[in-house]
């Protein structure tokens, strides 16, 4: 489905192997480091000229459109009963999602036609704007849903955390490019991560959304890892984080750390043994597992789920993958995971062939965002991780998420259009 052609030269990741040949140059920069800002001539060289063939990833577009259509079908299937009971309209959630999808597609088309280099100028406005939107949650514009104050009422509900994800991808892609001579050193790495603390802290403390804070940090972490000429600090940091997480789980499971201290610690305890509180905190997890188990290999059939009838809470949101398993079986679930794997592979392909570091990092940020959300959502639904409230991209109900995920797809398509073909 992709446009055929031959690349005029290697992509950025092929031309610039970070970490190779780090002997010092006469100007004091490490070999392999990039100048802080590309010149106008370099930006022009990385932009396709009028009439020159460029890469249009039609397969990526097809996968996105397929996931969107599939998501709309599954949202209606999972939510029709609850929508009829709550809103007296079985298509209430479907209609809301369609509106967000249309807006998102418009945003995707616009972003795909914009030269992605212009986003460098929007880096600081994106960073500051994201923080301001999160702060507005504390004002009368803030909305509370399901006990959580995470939305803004701007005529349409908007979740600032979703804006922040896009904003941080743009900001850190530009910031890393402008500071390539420093991020290879420990001081530069720490300074870069310090810029990630305010958005993570705002999301965590103001909107009480730990999962989104983790995703934002994860996006920055991977972008830094890809760009840095030294990988060992990131590997060591990842090992330390994993060991700390395992230690906390062990402490909670063996009552060394009382689960009563925090509801998040209580979630860890329930995660390890959901049957211990099957009627309360472990109810959603167990019902999701019942949905998965009852679907078998081929499922009960589209629309035939029984768990969505007041058994599985948030069936159209975080737990929609359980409904997919119940109605379409393990076969359908594997097909969905394969589509996401193909989507991420296309991101990787575009990032590897992007004409410059900025484009490569933009796509890397989007890739990391999608990968983290897919892995975390499926891991939560299958009880491989504690419940975190992460949605499944394009399939779970959520207007803000779908809108800004499509904007991110538009950015990826903009980068792909700059890849020149012979």
Domain count, the chain: 1
Strand partners, 54: 420
Q: How far is residue 186 from each of residues 191, 229, 293, 369, measured CA to CA in Å?
A: 9, 11, 48, 25
Q: What is the pLDDT of residues 402-412, one digit of tens each?
A: 999 999 999 99
Identify each DSSP E strand in 163-318 by its residue range.
Answer: none
- Expressed in percent and rounded to 5, the helix, strand and coil fractions of the chain are 65, 5, 30
Report the pLDDT averaged over residues 391-406. 93
Label residue 53 by pLDDT band (50, 70, 90): low
pLDDT of residue 221: 94
pLDDT for residue 338 is more than 70: yes
- DSSP reduced 3-state for 230: coil
Task: Tell me whether residue 45 is in a domain.
Answer: no
Label residue 133 by pLDDT band (50, 70, 90): very high
CB 390 within 8 A of CB 398: no
pTM attached to this predicted model: 0.87
Task: Tell me whether residue 399 is in a domain.
Answer: yes
pLDDT for residue 24 is more than 60: no
- Average pLDDT over all residues of the chain: 85
Report the pLDDT averaged over residues 335-339. 97
Task: Tell me whether residue 262 is in a domain.
Answer: no
pLDDT for residue 326 is more than 90: yes
Q: What is the pLDDT of residues 371-386, one digit of tens each?
A: 999 999 999 999 998 8
**Stronger pLDDT, 327 or 310, i.e. the higher one:** 327
Residue 9, Cβ density class (10 Å: 0-12 exposed, 13-18 middle, ≥19 buried): exposed
Task: Tell me whether residue 23 is in a domain.
Answer: no
The share of the chain scoring above pLDDT 90, in percent, equals 54
pLDDT for residue 145 is more than 90: no
**How far apart are alpha carbons 311 and 314 in whole angstroms?**
10
Task: Tell me whether residue 367 is in a domain.
Answer: yes
The C-alpha angle 229, 130, 125, rounded to 5 degrees, equals: 75
**How far apart are alpha carbons 37 and 39 in whole angstroms?**
6
pLDDT of residue 181: 82
Note every long-range contact of 392-395, with CB atoms under 8 Å and residues 24 or more positions apart, other chains counting. Answer: 392/318, 392/320, 392/321, 393/67, 393/340, 394/64, 394/67, 394/68, 394/70, 394/71, 395/67, 395/70, 395/71, 395/74, 395/75, 395/320, 395/321, 395/324, 395/336
Task: Tell me whether residue 96 is in a domain.
Answer: yes
Report the pLDDT averaged over residues 246-255. 87
61-100 in b/e form (b: 16+ CB < 10 A) is bebbeebbebbbebbbbbbbbbbeeeeeeebbbbebbbeb
**How far apart are alpha carbons 360 and 13 in whole angstroms?**
8
CB 117 within 8 A of CB 110: no
Task: Tell me whether residue 134 is in a domain.
Answer: no
pLDDT of residue 409: 97
Label residue 110 by pLDDT band (50, 70, 90): very high
**Stronger pLDDT, 54 or 255, i.e. the higher one:** 255
The share of the chain scoring above pLDDT 70, in percent, equals 86
Quick one: which of 193, 201, 200 has its CA closest to 172?
Answer: 193
Task: Tell me whether residue 72 is in a domain.
Answer: yes
Q: What is the pLDDT of residues 54-72, one digit of tens each?
A: 677 889 999 999 999 999 9
Beta-strand relationship, 142-145 and 156-158 = unpaired
User: What is the domain range of residue 393?
Assistant: 64-113+283-422
Output the DSSP codes for 55-86: ---HHHHHHHHHHHHHHHHHHHHHHHHHHHHH
Instruction: Give the position of tokens 């720490």.
Output: 190
Handedness of CA 92, 93, 98, 103 (dihedral sign): positive
pLDDT of residue 23: 32
**How far apart are alpha carbons 286 and 221 in whole angstroms?**
33
């Amino acid at each position: 489905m992709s446009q055929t052609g031959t690349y005029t030269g290697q992509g950025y990741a092929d031309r610039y192997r970070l970490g190779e040949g780090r002997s010092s140059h006469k100007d004091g920069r490490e070999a392999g480091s990039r100048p802080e800002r590309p010149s106008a001539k370099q930006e022009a060289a990385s932009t396709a000229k009028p009439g020159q063939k460029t890469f249009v990833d039609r397969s990526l577009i097809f996968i996105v459109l397929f996931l969107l259509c599939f998501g709309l079908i599954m949202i209606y299937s999972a939510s029709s009963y609850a929508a009829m009971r709550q809103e007296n309209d079985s298509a209430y959630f479907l209609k809301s999602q369609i509106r967000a999808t249309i807006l998102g597609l418009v945003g995707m088309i616009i972003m795909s036609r914009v030269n992605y280099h212009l986003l460098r100028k929007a880096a600081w406005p994106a960073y500051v704007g994201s923080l301001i939107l999160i702060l507005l949650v504390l004002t009368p514009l803030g909305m509370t849903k399901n006990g959580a104050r995470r939305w803004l009422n701007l005529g349409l509900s908007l979740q600032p955390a979703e804006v922040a994800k896009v904003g941080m991808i743009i900001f850190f892609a530009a910031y890393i490019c402008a500071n390539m001579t420093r991020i290879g050193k420990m001081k530069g790495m720490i300074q870069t991560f310090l810029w990630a603390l305010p958005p993570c802290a705002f999301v965590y403390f103001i909107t009480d959304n730990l999962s989104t804070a983790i995703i934002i940090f994860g996006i920055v972490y991977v972008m830094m890892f890809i760009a840095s000429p030294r990988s060992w600090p990131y590997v060591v940091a990842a090992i330390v984080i994993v060991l700390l997480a395992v230690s906390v789980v062990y402490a909670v499971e063996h009552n060394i750390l009382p689960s009563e201290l925090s509801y998040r610690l209580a979630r860890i305890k329930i995660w390890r043994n959901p049957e211990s509180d099957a009627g309360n905190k472990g109810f959603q997890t167990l019902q999701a597992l019942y949905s998965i188990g009852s679907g078998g290999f081929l499922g009960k059939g589209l629309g035939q789920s029984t768990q969505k009838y007041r058994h599985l809470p948030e069936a159209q949101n975080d737990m929609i993958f359980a409904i997919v398993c119940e109605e379409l079986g393990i076969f359908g679930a594997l097909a969905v995971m394969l589509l996401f794997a193909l989507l991420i592979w296309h991101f990787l392909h575009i990032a590897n062939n992007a004409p410059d570091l900025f484009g490569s990092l933009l796509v890397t940020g989007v890739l990391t965002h999608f990968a983290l959300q897919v892995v975390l959502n499926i891991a939560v639904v299958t009880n491989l991780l504690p419940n975190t409230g992460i949605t499944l991209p394009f399939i779970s109900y959520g207007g803000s998420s779908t809108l800004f995920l499509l904007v991110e797809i538009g950015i990826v398509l903009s980068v792909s259009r700059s890849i020149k073909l012979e």
